């Protein structure tokens, strides 16, 4: 589920960059040329890394003195003498931290890639270390994420609607006049400024999950600036928000069924009983924390991203909850998904900023009554996940800023050859989205991984990883129509 809820790969070390590393003097309004000719003043940080900041205009339609300051982190190529360039990375989200992702350079790409490329990540506007905004306090975040939304009874719908309305109001207060300027469309334009500042003629890019949407918009805006681009776990740009939510709900339901087919220790009936119990008399830990139905759903979804370790964790969590009435691992998995520590603190702002970005990226033509009515259709198609995903965009109906929709052609994008990776049973970004995106790009090759889990690169499949490495290192894509088999879970 997108972090609306479609989260990214969570293998990332937590990184907090304190303070700007350089300060630009602003003597009035800027032009785009001045933004493109800033100087990145790199300083050593965290051992083998370099950090800097750069500024981007808040509003590209009215470029002036209002700016965002964005943080950027670089892991330098080991072989600087024969370096092949820079790869900009983004882990997904919306709202995933790319500085965190680049901080894990030795984990997210191969040794061969680290040898020849600088790995660079920047936190998009509003994300993590780039002027982050938090709409809710820790306690408010708990209440928001614990809310059960499975019932479509009038009282429950009224409660959920009130919470969504309150969230929108608090985000508007937190963001102030910048509320309407956290879109992916504007983030793609920020990437072009960063390309100029890095001194790269072409931008190489590795985007996962939501990061594929950021890469797609960049490619549509600046097709001639695209170098080697890998989009893994695609978000299809032309799919409506309602269809996105429904497709994801079906994808997670299918992933859960696949898990149950291979794991005979847990039955669907057991999960349904646990969910029913969590709605009326949820399990409780020693500190009095309740494993609400929302947290149980979140824990299950978190585990379905990874068909190896995630499935193992899910079995342990469900066995503890069902057999021993112990919610310990339910909390662990849900907190991992929600970026919450054991003390109840949220260690980044992804839960909030993901909704902020999504409300600007997508326009839902349905009325609130139509969204609520659609819950029955979602539940029929996906009994476990449908009721939750059907209301995931409700806050956007009360948003106090208009969507920033791309005013560019997203049906035909002509760039240098790019590589798209899709997993046939991906629960979060269904395979058909990768197929759609491969047709949108006129010069794209789709690498298919037959198997489970979210995204295909860097998950231990030699076939996929070799294809990605070969492409970045040599520029060659092949063989055409490559299909990779997934080893046993």
pLDDT at position 19 over 50 = no
Number of H helices and number of E strands within the chain?
A: 18, 12
What tens digit of pLDDT does each residue of 433-472 get? 999 999 999 999 999 999 999 999 999 999 999 999 999 9
Percent of the chain with pLDDT over 90: 83
pTM above 0.85, yes or no: yes
**Mean model confidence pLDDT for the chain:** 91
Spatial distance between the Cα atoms of 463 and 454, rounded to a whole number of angstroms: 16
What tens digit of pLDDT does each residue of 152-176 get? 667 678 888 899 999 999 999 999 9
Number of other residues whose CB lies within 10 A of the CB of residue 285: 13
What tens digit of pLDDT does each residue of 249-306 get? 999 999 999 999 998 889 999 999 999 999 999 999 999 999 999 999 999 999 999 9
End-to-end CA distance of the chain, in Å?
Answer: 21
Tell me the pLDDT band of 393, cut-offs 50, 70 and 90: confident
How high is the pLDDT of residue 152? 61
H or E segment to which residue 67 belongs = strand 67-75
pLDDT at position 27 over 60 = no
More confident residue, 122 or 369: 122
How high is the pLDDT of residue 267? 94
What tens digit of pLDDT does each residue of 325-369 get? 999 999 999 999 999 999 999 999 999 999 999 999 999 999 988
How high is the pLDDT of residue 391? 87
How high is the pLDDT of residue 158? 85
Q: Which residues contact 228 (CB under 8 A, 6 or more apart)?
A: 87, 202, 204, 205, 416, 418, 419, 471, 472, 475
pLDDT at position 243 over 60 = yes
């Amino acid at each position: 589920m997108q972090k609306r809820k479609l989260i990214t790969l969570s293998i990332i070390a937590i990184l907090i960059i304190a303070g700007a590393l350089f300060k630009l003097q602003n003597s009035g309004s800027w032009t785009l040329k001045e933004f493109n000719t800033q100087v990145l003043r790199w300083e050593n940080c965290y051992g083998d890394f370099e950090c800097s900041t750069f500024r981007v205009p808040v509003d590209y339609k009215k470029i002036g003195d209002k700016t965002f300051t964005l943080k950027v982190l670089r892991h330098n190529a080991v072989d600087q003498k024969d370096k092949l360039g820079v790869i900009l990375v983004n882990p997904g989200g919306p709202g995933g931290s790319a500085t965190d992702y680049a901080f894990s350079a030795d984990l997210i790409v191969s040794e061969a890639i680290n040898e020849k490329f600088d790995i660079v990540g920047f936190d998009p506007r509003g994300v993590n270390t780039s002027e982050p905004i938090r709409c809710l306090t820790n306690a408010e975040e708990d209440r928001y994420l614990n809310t059960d939304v499975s019932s479509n009874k009038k009282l429950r719908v009224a409660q959920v609607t009130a919470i969504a309305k309150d969230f929108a109001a608090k985000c508007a207060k937190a963001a102030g006049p910048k509320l309407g300027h956290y879109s992916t469309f504007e983030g793609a334009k920020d990437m072009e400024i960063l390309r100029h500042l890095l001194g790269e003629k072409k931008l190489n890019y590795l985007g996962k999950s939501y990061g594929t949407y950021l890469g797609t918009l960049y490619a549509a805006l600046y097709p001639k600036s695209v170098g080697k681009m890998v989009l893994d776990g695609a978000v299809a740009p032309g799919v409506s928000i309602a269809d996105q939510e429904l497709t994801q709900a079906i994808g997670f339901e299918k992933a859960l069924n696949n898990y149950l087919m291979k794991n005979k220790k847990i039955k669907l009936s057991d999960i349904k009983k646990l969910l029913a119990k969590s709605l009326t008399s949820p399990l409780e830990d020693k500190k009095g924390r309740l494993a609400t139905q929302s947290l149980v759903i979140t824990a299950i979804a978190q585990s379905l991203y990874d068909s190896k370790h995630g499935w193992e964790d899910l079995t342990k969590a469900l066995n503890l909850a069902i057999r021993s009435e112990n919610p310990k691992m339910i909390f662990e998995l849900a907190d991992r998904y929600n970026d919450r520590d054991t003390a109840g603190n949220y260690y980044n702002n992804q839960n909030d900023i993901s909704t902020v970005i999504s409300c600007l990226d997508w326009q839902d033509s349905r009325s609130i009554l139509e969204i609520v009515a659609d819950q029955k259709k979602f539940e029929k198609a996906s009994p476990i996940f449908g009721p939750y995903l059907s209301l995931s965009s409700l806050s956007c109906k009360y948003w106090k800023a208009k969507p920033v929709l791309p005013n560019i052609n997203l049906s035909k994008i002509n760039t240098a050859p790019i590589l798209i990776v899709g997993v046939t049973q991906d629960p979060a970004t269904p395979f058909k989205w990768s197929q759609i995106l491969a047709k949108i790009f006129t010069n794209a090759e789709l690498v298919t991984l037959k198997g489970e889990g979210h995204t295909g690169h860097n998950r231990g499949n030699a076939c996929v990883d070799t294809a990605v490495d070969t492409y970045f290192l040599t520029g060659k894509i092949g063989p055409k129509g490559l299909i990779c088999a997934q080893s046993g879970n």
